[in-house]
Amino acid sequence: MNYKQFRHCGLDVALTMLSGKWKPIILYHLFHQEQIRFTDLWRIIPKVAKKVLLDHLKQMEAHGLIIRTEKNTFPPEVYYQISEKGRAMGPALTALELWANEYAADEVKDLQDDKKKKYLIRKESLS
Amino acid sequence: MNYKQFRHCGLDVALTMLSGKWKPIILYHLFHQEQIRFTDLWRIIPKVAKKVLLDHLKQMEAHGLIIRTEKNTFPPEVYYQISEKGRAMGPALTALELWANEYAADEVKDLQDDKKKKYLIRKESLS
DNA sequence: TGAGCAGGTTACTAAAAGGTGAACTTCGGG
DNA sequence: CCCGAAGTTCACCTTTTAGTAACCTGCTCA
């Protein structure tokens, strides 16, 4: 295998753009849904504070990973979708995902259980 | 392209293991050097505090990404090297790197300039 | 005997990230 | 003509992560 291309600067940049507690799950939804409204995203993701979700979305928009579109209807509708730049990251993310499932299955399972628990808590608190 | 495999839990796990200000550059060196002594690593990486470097190495060891070997010679020699699990992450990291170079070239250049500056500062303060 | 070296720890501080709850805006509907 | 809705902002707080500096160990060598 050849790691001549693997230089830490680019890796730093990519990881910086991915750093943030909720970015993986945000990306997950945006990769699967064309576009999604702010409030829907907020309701789907368990336990994020509105403000924090917004912070993350702003950062990602600033990095060019996602696109924000605002319709001036009332009440306002704001849609988020993945950009070309963001979508281009897909294969790399899939590679990480596969690595985790193959080499860190235990940790993945732990995290899943953990999230399931949190999700149940959140579900209770809704309707 | 098919993102059926791309589930945020595994991605979370992988990114958690990669999260840390100095992990990309640590990985960079370990990927290229078979094994490296603690102090050498510390001298090579500009501006890390010893403690922080140690923290990162401990985390990475705990995650199974790297292997620590201690020779009880005098003065002590401690070598760090990438593990199989860590090396298996290589292709995914390369993919991120390539993405950054293609889609975020500006940010990569900024970071490189920035690091070069810091590196010069550090070089002055040595020898 | 005591300076020096490699690796590591401790105690502390500073900065970044994440979180909470309330309030603002701008409109349409009752 | 006040209420509620979606998206956003504000003021404030807690937790996590990074950084500094001093000190410890166990040995060597001058």
**Cα nearest neighbour of B95 on chain A:** A92
**Per-residue pLDDT at B25:** 96
**Per-residue pLDDT at B33:** 95
- The residues, any chain, with a CB within 8 Å of residue A36's CB and separated by 6 or more, are A29, A30, A44, A79, A80, A81
**Cα nearest neighbour of B114 on chain A:** A9
Instruction: Quickly state the pLDDT bin for B78 (edges 50, 70, 90).
Output: very high
Percent of chain B with pLDDT over 90: 70
More confident residue, B46 or B72: B72
Residues in chain B: 127
Strand D: which positions are within 7 A of a protein CB? 4-11, 17-22, 26-28
Reply yes or no on whether the pLDDT at A126 is more than 50: no
**Per-residue pLDDT at B113:** 60
Q: Which residue is nearest to nucleotide C5 (CA to C1')?
A: B75
**Per-residue pLDDT at B48:** 94
**Per-residue pLDDT at A127:** 27
Interface contact flag, A15 B96, Cβ < 8 Å: yes
Distance CA B103, CA A84 (A): 9
Residue located via tokens 């020898």: B127
> Which tens digits make up the pLDDT trace of A50-103?
999 999 999 999 999 999 999 988 889 999 999 999 999 999 999 999 999 999
- For CA atoms A68, A71, A72, A77, the dihedral sign is negative
Q: Domains for chain A: give ranges and CATH numbers.
A: 8-125 (1.10.10.10)
CA-based nearest distance B47→chain A, Å: 15
Instruction: Quickly state the pLDDT bin for B115 (edges 50, 70, 90).
Output: low
Q: Measuring from the CA of residue A79 to each C1' atom, give the nucleotide at the shortest distance.
A: D7
Distance CA A24, CA A28 (A): 6
**Per-residue pLDDT at B118:** 46
**Per-residue pLDDT at B127:** 28
> Which tens digits make up the pLDDT trace of A6-30?
667 899 999 999 999 999 999 999 9
